[in-house]
Amino acid sequence: MSRLPSISLCVAASLVCAPVWAETVVPMKGQNSQQIQLDINDCHNVAASQSASTQPPPSGGRLRGAAVGGAAGAAGAQVRGNQHDELYDRVNEDVKQNYRQNRAKETAAAGAVVGGARQRQERRAQQKTSSTTSSTAYTSCLQGRGYQVTP
């Protein structure tokens, strides 16, 4: 009968202390409620330090995308102009420059959108990896201290 309240306390403590990990923690070595609380807190701290990423979050995706898009747009405009040499040679240099700039602006905007999307994908992947690392560290820590951890 004394084991049931201990298990209930452990389950309640694990849900209150670590809401990120929806797991059931069962003491296997007869730990008392104070020890359970200390172990859960310690393992939570271990998991938080393990999941701290050494890589900075991805940044600059929009800027890189805009730069690549702008360069591609200007180069594409020049290539299109060269395909029509007879007409392109007769056009004023200011008009040619304006055409290249407009194409560069259009493709830079598209590049910024693509770069932003890639940056968000990279950030999500990094967050998923961090979350998985943290959960694994938490579970391993508790198992090493004599608890059965079930999802």
The whole-number pLDDT of residue 3 equals: 53
Cα 149 to Cα 130: distance, rounded to the nearest angstrom: 20
- The size of the chain, in residues, is 151
Cα 86 to Cα 23: distance, rounded to the nearest angstrom: 73
Cα 49 to Cα 45: distance, rounded to the nearest angstrom: 6
From first to last of its 151 residues, the chain has per-residue pLDDT tens of 455 555 554 444 444 444 454 578 889 988 998 998 999 999 889 888 876 655 677 788 888 888 888 888 888 888 887 777 677 777 888 988 888 888 888 888 888 888 889 899 988 988 888 888 888 888 989 999 999 888 7
Q: Where are the domains of the chain?
A: 3-54+134-150, 61-131
Contact (CB, 8 A) for 45 and 134: no
Q: What is the pTM of this model?
A: 0.53
Question: Which residues fall within 8 angstroms of residue 17, CB to CB, at 6 or more apart?
Answer: 37, 40, 41, 44
